[in-house]
Chains A and B, each alone.
Chain A
Amino acid sequence: MSVQIEIPNSPRKEKVTNWEKYGWLYMRISGPLLIVLIFTHVFVNLFTGEGIKQIDFAFVAGKWADPFWQWWDVSMLWLALIHGTLGMRTIINDYTEKPKLRTGLVGTLWSVSGALILLGTLVVFTFDPCPATADPNLLPSFCEAIASN
């Protein structure tokens, strides 16, 4: 018994939106953008200066004082999490056989990713570089000028 497979390049018959195609395209458009965003992110934070040793609250505050890095990080957050979620969805679809399990896992996946996208975006845009109650030694140097005013 052989399996019938439709001719690969036959045109699609359904008239509804082809979400699978847009998902496939999204992987290929976000990919090159993510190369620029993530490779730069890792280069700046891990390869240059003191590398991993320089990372602390003051370092983050220094970067997010500039809207450029705020938008950089938020773009990276959205593009990477949606890309990763679509990729994980493909993998779940490959390995689950029971429809209920599949729907449950994919639903959980999108909920977790959605929550993290929301959280990450709020963190960047509600960030306070100079919290009043914090130890001044942990804060970026520009907080002193603000405090002495």
Chain B
Amino acid sequence: MSVVPAGTLYRGKVGMWSWVLHRVSGVAIFFFLLVHVLDTALVRVSPEAYDIVIQSYKTPIIGLAELGLVGAILFHGLNGVRIILVDFWSKGTRYQNAMFWIVLVLAVGITAYFTPGHLERILEF
């Protein structure tokens, strides 16, 4: 027996893909945060230890990963607001589709706006 869903708020289309992106970005930020608390903790070891490890954040490869992090945190945060509006706002379900595209445009737009300056800083290093 095969069931072909026409797509609901959460299955197929925007509802599902926003969920996938929200999950993947949440996990990525979580693992970044685990490392980030440890690297910040190096200020209690010595200024030398902290500065040496933070140097690696200024290299081209990790610098590029930081662009991904900025995009992920923007998407996850803004889409989180969308989820909250779907749950608590009476018109949330009606506008969930439009809100997804607003979230995506804002996340991509702000990341793109930040990219040139950041690239300049990590590449001249």
Residues of A within 8 A of B (CB): 28, 31-32, 34-35, 38-39, 42, 46-47, 50-53, 55-58, 60-61, 77, 80-81, 84-85, 87-88, 91, 112, 116, 119-120, 122-123, 126-128, 131, 133-135, 138-139
Contacts and interface: CB of A to CB of B under 8 A. Distances in A.
A50 B54 CA distance: 14
B106 to A, nearest CB: 11
A60 B118 contact: no
A134 B37 contact: no
B57 A120 contact: no
Interface of B: 23, 26-27, 29-30, 33-34, 37-38, 40-41, 43-44, 46-48, 50-51, 54, 57-58, 63, 66, 70, 73, 77-78, 80-81, 83-84, 87-88, 114, 117-118, 121-122, 125
Contacts of A88: 26-27, 30
Contact of A131 (B37, B38, B47, B51): B47
Contacts, number: 104
A35 B70 CA distance: 13
Majority secondary structure of chain B interface residues (helix, strand, loop or mixed): helix
Contacts of A128: 44
Contacts of A60: 40, 43, 50
Contact of A50 (B23, B83, B121): B121
A123 B42 CA distance: 9
